[in-house]
A and B are shown apart, each in its own frame.
Chain A
Amino acid sequence: EIVLTQSPGTLSLSPGERATLSCRASESVSSSYLAWYQQKPGQAPRLIMYGASSRATGIPDRFSGSGSGTDFTLTISRLEPEDFAVYYCQQYGSSLWTFGQGTKVEIK
């Protein structure tokens, strides 16, 4: 199965700053079938990005995704208070789907 490694584990930033989250796969992700989810405490995850670079419905354009093959990035251009959360990447390009271990974006 494809192993996804996210870095950093925790990102301490202030509102208005730029956040850059990384997701690295142990092998190439087919068709860039890479998604990002946002999870806030006590809530279910929410899909925010799919196909590596397409925003899900209702996701603001300060969120952007990039990458292909084994290296993917989620960027939040200017952090809003509601963006502080845990972010997970997931690949769905192989028959066995997997998640990364998450990156927590916390208020500095």
Chain B
Amino acid sequence: DAGITQSPRYKITETGRQVTLMCHQTWSHSYMFWYRQDLGHGLRLIYYSAAADITDKGEVPDGYVVSRSKTENFPLTLESATRSQTSVYFCASSGGGTSTNSYEQYFGPGTRLTVT
């Protein structure tokens, strides 16, 4: 299916466990992003990637690791999950480039993560 997908959609894990959230897009977009959404904070950028093998920190990167070995995939890993990382995680992609719509982001359906 075309578009942007995330897995799992729901995850419950324990404090201290490592967990990886997957994101896959079929548009060959250059840019990919990970956000978390919490009440009172809105969407906050965790990490982003401008292309394969190029990643950079966003607003709230601590406790997270990303990689991007292929253009279409952008996994997010919580190395040692904490309760404060309970949140809804959204992956997004955008085309990049210089056209007027190159900065428009398209979001995946989200992963609801609960850390107990």
**Do the two shown chains form a genuine complex with each other?**
no
Q: Which residues of A contact B (CB under 8 A)?
A: none
